[in-house]
Each structure stands twice: as C-alpha cells, then as structure tokens.
Structure 1
Amino acid sequence: MPEARAGAAATPAQSSKDNKGDQGTRSPDAGSGAAARPRRRQARGEARIAQLLEAAAGVFCSSGYNGASTNAIAREAGVSPGTLYQFFPNKEAIAIELGEQLMHRWRETYGAAFVVSHIELPLDRMLDTVLDPLIAFNCENPAFAVLTHGSEIPGVITREHDILHASMLTRTEQLLGAYLPELPADQVARTAAMAFVLFKAGLDLVMEHEGEEREAYIRELKSVMYRYLEPLVCDTPDGVTPARIDTP
C-alpha cells in the first residue's frame, strides 16, 4: 500500500540535515545528545499522527467520508490546519493511513477468531468464541465501517477491503469444513457464504444501536447463526458421531 504519511517520510531527511549540522568539533557527549534528539522528534511526530488519526476517525463517523474535511479533522484534534499538513497532504492520505491501520488490526482479530482448535467446542460456544471479537472490534472502531463502504472511499482502501473480504470468506469455509467434515464441499461453500452474509447483515443492525438494545441485537444475531447451523450439526449420516452442542 502506498505510504500516506507525509510527515513520516520527511523525518529521515530532516534527521539527515540535523546530523550534518552536528558534524565537526563536538565532544562525544554532545554527539550522543544529537543522536537522541531525532529519536525524540520522531516519537513526537508519531504521537501527533496518532492524535490526528483518532480525530479523523471521529470526524469520519460523525460526518461520513464525503462530509469530512481537513479543517474539521484539525479542529477535532485541537491543532491548526498547518500542523495537520506537516503530516498529511490531504483528506485522502489521512483516510488511507487510518484505513491501513484498522485493516491490519482487523486481520489480527479475525486471524485469532478463525482457528481450527475451535471446532472442539460445542456450537453455541464456538459461535461466541468466533463472533465476540469480530463484533467487539467493529463496535470499538466504527470508522472501519465508514472507510470500507461507499463509492467515494479511496480506491486503495476498497481494493484492500475486497482482498480482506475474500480472505475472511475462505477462513469461514475452512472452519465450517473442519467442523462439519461430513458435508460435501459444495454444500460447505454455500453454507459458509450464507453464514457470512447473515453475519454482515446482523452486524449492520448491531452497529445501528447502542447500550442494551445493541446487546439484544447481538443475542439475536447469535441466535440466527445458531439456528441456521444447528440442523447441519445434527443431521449427520449413519455411523458418524455428531459434534456435541449445548442449546443456548
């Protein structure tokens, strides 16, 4: 993915300039201090970038991608537009950087959720183990949905999301195939695709609500998923031991 952080790219050049200025008749102690200053500047720059990205996430959620502006993001971050432009040339660069960070964390989240060891669990607990971290991530990062939906989103984010979507569907199919080994491959593929669509639709409803109502929709989503998959767990050929389930 192309680098979006203008400030991050400028730091090494600035450090090189500073290092040249520090060359000459300096004591070892002075040289040591000069080496430490660029590291401190870089740490401050990373902190400022994190501050701007957090502000951008809030603005994207409240105004949408089209409605957001660099001025609004700077205002939300409590900095001047000039300070923002030291790190990002435009709104698109901010969105790409934020989207990249969120998708990296999303990969880690679903990677930990879709593990084959979960097939040892009864169906209801397997669903809890898989769905809970996915739902929690989306609830804690509402900007993720904003930056992965809509025709106006930068193309690089859309392409990355499409790759992520295909990867998640594959992982869903692999997990269900391991959990329901007696099913033909084509039925596993259809079941995975349907379960994936059910989850996405239910997640949209979850994200539209807060508090107790959100929790109620989470329970509804899990109930729908359970009732869709439970007959497949029980409907096993003769001589095959069905996976153990605990009815919610």
Structure 2
Amino acid sequence: MAQLLEAAATVFTTSGYNGASTNAIAREAGVSPGTLYQFFPNKEAIAVELGNRLTHRWRETYGAAFVHSHLELPLDRMLDAILDPLIAFNCENPAFAVLTHGSEIPGVISQEHDALHETMLTRTEELISGYLPDLPADRVTRIADTAFVVFKSGLDLVMAHNGPERQAYIAELKAVMYGYLHPLARTRPAGATAHDTDTP
C-alpha cells in the first residue's frame, strides 16, 4: 500500500488529479492494475487515503510549529522556527497542494482542508495575540488574516520554483513577513525580547 501511495503522490503531482489514472499509478508503482485494485477500488479511494495520511502529517507539522515557546525568540528566529517546517513539508510533499486545491478533488478531502484552514487561522491568531498582547482583538484578527494570506501566496511562489530560486523566494517571503510584523513589535510590553523592538 505504501508503494502505491508513493506512486500516486508522484502521478498526482505530475499529472494533476484529473489527469491521473489508476493505470498510471500502477505503472509508476511497478505493479499490475490488478494488484492495485486489491488495495483500492478506484482513483478517488487512493486520493482519499493519501490525503488522509498527508493531512495527519501536516497537522503534526503545524502543531509543532505553532507553539508558544517560539514567542520568546527574536522575531527573525521566530519566523524561521514557524515557517521553515511548514515550507519544508509542502516542498517535500507537493501532492498535498494538488489534493487540497481544485473543485474536482473528492469532497471528503476538501472538507478536511477547510477544517485545517480554520484551525491554522485560529492558531495564527492565538500566536499573534501572544506576541502582541496589548492589541485589541479585532486588530489581532486582521493581522492574523493578513499574515496567513501573505504566507499562502508566498508559498505558491516558493512551490513554483526549485533550487537556488526556491531558496531566494523563501528569503523574500520571510523578508515580507518580517517587514510586516516588525513595526508592530514596537507595541510589545516592556518585558519583551529587546531584539524584537530594535530597529533592524
């Protein structure tokens, strides 16, 4: 099953969900279509199983990234601690993006993605609230919404490139996030890390 799912991830990434077929997945896995059908009745079942496994790993990844202990770090290091694992996961699992975007994706995956989106947005808001505790709740919500959209858009650029260019876009994404959040850090309480309230 693991062999088939790995092959499916490759085929979904290269061909898209609509362009993928069970025959192509079986061929990529080096097995006969009959062997594939012993494990999965159709392409949708493969996508759902792969989507479930990737979603579980994604939850573990952002769960480890969005922790309050990162609030003790200087802003640049905090961004590294939060963004690096999220970016790495998506770069290492490009099929995750394929299986969480598009109207043709099986409904159960889309529903799970919507729930993930809401959870991540909530965690982002909690982190921003912890980082900037003196700001009113409505401002925190706007900042979290903006930061989340900036990250998602920047991630699309990162995923569209490889090698040195990908690293360059990661640096640009972090620079944008730092430039947005750093001025807000001046509102932090007196006990905040000095680095966060210094001029870069």
Band of TM-score, shorter chain? over 0.9
Root mean square deviation, CA, Å: 1.3
Q: List per-residue Cα deviations over 1:130-153 (Å, max 9, x = no partner).
A: 000000000000000000000000
Instruction: Go from structure 1 to structure 2 and tell me whether the alpha carbon gap of 1:198 and 1:187 turns closer, same or farther (over 3 Å shift).
Output: same
Name the structure 2 match of 1:141. Answer: 93
1:89 Cα deviation after fit: 0.1
Structure 1 counterpart SS, 2:195: coil
Whether the aligned pair in 2 keeps the contact of 1:234 and 1:242 (CA below 8 Å) is no
For residue 194 of structure 2, what is the aligned residue in structure 1?
A: 244
Q: How far apart in 2 are the matches of 1:245 and 1:194?
A: 23
Percent pairwise identity: 76
Secondary structure class of the residue paired with 2:101: coil
Q: Give the AA of the match of 1:110.
A: Y
- AA paired with 1:111? G
* Conserved? CA contact 1:113–1:130, under 8 Å: yes
Residue in structure 2 matched with residue 9 of structure 1 by the alignment? none
- 2:28 alignment partner in structure 1: 76
Preserved contact between residue 134 and residue 187 of structure 2 (Cα < 8 Å): no
User: Are 2:2 and 1:62 equivalent residues in the alignment?
Assistant: no
8 Å contact kept, 1:123–1:244? no
Q: Does 1:173 align with 2:173?
A: no
Task: Choose which of 89, 101, 125 in structure 1 pairs with 2:53.
Answer: 101
Q: Report the TM-score when normalising by structure 2.
A: 0.96
Residue 128 of structure 1 corresponds to 80
Q: For 1:113 and 1:54, locate their aligned partners in 2 and report how far apart those are by CA, in whole Å.
A: 25
Partner amino acid for 2:13? C
Shift of 1:244: 2.8
With the length of structure 1 as denominator, give the TM-score of the two structures.
Answer: 0.78
The one of 116, 119, 122 aligned to 1:164: 116
Q: Does 1:90 align with 2:42?
A: yes
- Matches of 1:116 and 1:163, distance apart in 2: 22
The answer to whether the 8 A contact 1:122-1:245 is kept is yes
Aligned-partner Cα distance in 2 for 1:243–1:199: 24
What CA distance in whole angstroms lies between the structure 1 residues aligned with 2:164 and 2:39?
40
Structure 1 residue ranges (4+ consecutive) displaced by more than 3 angstroms after TM superposition: 239-243
The answer to whether the aligner puts 1:213 opposite 2:149 as a matched pair is no
Deviation at 1:242, TM superposition (A): 4.9
How many residues align? The count is: 198
Gaps of at least 5 residues in structure 1 are 1-48
**Alpha-carbon separation, structure 1, partners of 2:160 and 2:128:** 28
Measure, in 1, the Cα distance between the counterparts of 2:51 and 2:38. Answer: 20
- On the 8 A contact 1:173/1:189 being kept in 2, the answer is yes
Larger Rg: 1
Task: Extract unaligned runs of 5+ from structure 2.
Answer: none
1:226 equivalent to 2:153? Answer no
Asked if 2 retains the 8 angstrom alpha-carbon contact of 1:234 and 1:243, the reply is: no
Equivalent pair of 2:132/2:187 in contact (CA under 8 Å): no
Q: How does 1:6-25 map to 2 (within 5 A)?
A: none
